[in-house]
Amino acid sequence: MALAALACMAACTPALNWREVRLPPTRLQVLLPCKPDEGTRTVTLADRTVEMHMVGCEAQGATYTLAWVAVAEPGRAGAVLGAWQDATLQRVGIAAGPDAPAGTAFVPQGALALPQAVQWRAEGRAPEGGPVVVQAAWFVATGGAGVQAFQAAVYSPAPMPEGAAAFFDGIRLP
C-alpha cells in the first residue's frame, strides 16, 4: 500500500515546478521551472566592462537563464544587445554575420522597441563539445536601476519548445 502511494505521488508530481522570480532592482519578473541559483560576474559588452547579474536553474536536461546588465549610456543599448548576441553565438561555435540565425522581434510589454530586441534559436556545440540548442531573447527596459539590457535563454541538447515558450511568455515588466 505504501509503495502504491509513493508511486502515485511520483506520477502526480509535475516535472517542472514553475515559480515567479523577481530581479530587483529591475522591474523584471520571470517564471522559472526550478529554484534558481544567482551570481554576478564582470564581462565586456560593446567595448564596456559591466557587471552581469544572472539567475538560472536546470530542469529536465535544460538550463534556463536570465541575465541583465546596467546600461550606463542609454544610446548604446542597441550596441550592447548586438554584442551580447554575437557573444552568445561565439559561445556555441557559430560565427556572427551571415551564418547567424534570423531573429524575430521580442519586446515584452514595458520594454523598449529596439531593432536589436530579438528572439532566435540556434544549434551549435556546447563548450564541452556536445550538441546544444540555444533559444534566446534580448531586450531593454527602464526603471528601478535606470536602463538595463536583458538576455533570457534556454540551453538544451535538443529543442524544448514547450518549456521555452512558457519561459519566454513568463517574462513581465510590471
Look at domain 15-169 and name its CATH class.
alpha beta
pLDDT-derived band at 65, boundaries 50, 70, 90: very high
Render pLDDT for 80-106 as a digit per residue (tens, 0 to 9): 999 999 999 999 988 777 767 778 999
DSSP secondary structure letters along 104-127: EE---TTSB--TT-EEEEEEEE-T
- Residue 15 pLDDT exceeds 90: no
Domain ranges of the chain: 15-169
More reliable by pLDDT, 74 or 1: 74
Q: What is the pLDDT of residues 75-86, one digit of tens each?
A: 999 999 999 999
Cell of 165: 515558450
Q: Read off the pLDDT of each residue in 1-29 and give the average, rounded to a whole number.
A: 65
Q: How many other C-beta atoms lie within 10 A of the C-beta of residue 107?
A: 16
Q: How many CB atoms lie within 10 A of CB 87?
A: 14
- pLDDT tier, 16 (very low <50, low <70, confident <90, very high otherwise): confident
> CB of 95 within 8 A of CB of 89?
yes
Say what the pLDDT of residue 146 is.
87
Q: CA-to-CA distance for 90 and 64, rounded, in angstroms?
A: 19
